[in-house]
Structure 1
Amino acid sequence: MNYYDFQVVFQEVPGEISLCFSICGCPLKCDGCHSPYLWKEFNGDTLTNERFLELLQQYENLATCVLFMGGEWHEEQLVNMLKLARQKCYKTCLYTGQDQVSKTILDELNWVKIGKWDPNLGGLNSEKTNQKFIEIKSNTIKNNLFIKN
């Protein structure tokens, strides 16, 4: 599983400082995608367990969540990374353009963002979006956290 970049982000998971990994090989190829370079599976670098754990250690006591932008198409590797993050006391989130995710992946998540990007409907900060930000434990949609009043 390759990742194109790694960033520390503040808005994607409300209330959390997240270590964000953009995973390569996205099969969806959504119209208007802001990251078409993620369509190519072998872009970026291999996300090894060693590199992943190194980053988790580096940001220990600073970040609270690990966020994967995609990667569900590498289910076994993604689940392994999510388990490693949880063992290190990080919360976990997945952003996917799919409308559903396997139970195996969901079992390792605190949150999931589902739904294909539609430029006519907007993202999570749009009241008409088709996307859903779901808290797994309560199975509730938390899009309201992204809407500015």
Structure 2
Amino acid sequence: MTLNFRAALGSDIAECIQLRGLTRENAVSAARLAELGITQASWAAQVSDGSLPGWIAEQEQILGYCFADVQSGEIVVLALLPQAEGKGIGQQLIQRAMQTLRQHGHHRLFLACSRNPVVRSYGFYRHLGWRSTGELSGQHDEILEYCYPPQAR
């Protein structure tokens, strides 16, 4: 079975919502997403209108995904099934999302991440060159940024 990376479609969102509840360290249920205003319809609409492009990794099923907000330059979510962790899939997904944001003119990207060093995402993003801004999100996560050097712009 070949691992495939492709652009996300609005029709993928139901499976993405289900996968989000199955992640190991940052599971968010469909009910909680809905409380936050994130529904299958709203998410699919943003994917379809191009404001929230995403990348999917699949191998018979979706193993992971990463979505980015082209207006703000934010990596909104990176999620993987536990069996997809540690295989470079998350790194490939975020790199695709970062490239999408760069193509939309963003030189500074940002995301919210756990500030607990025990959580995998803490080291994952830093290993890829993301740095703390010293700010916290509304959910008390740490805001990290990735800035492309001037010569890479």
Which TM-score tier does this pair reach, normalised by the shorter chain?
0.3 to 0.5
TM-score scaled to structure 2, two decimals?
Answer: 0.35
Higher helix share: 2
Q: TM-score, normalised by structure 1?
A: 0.36
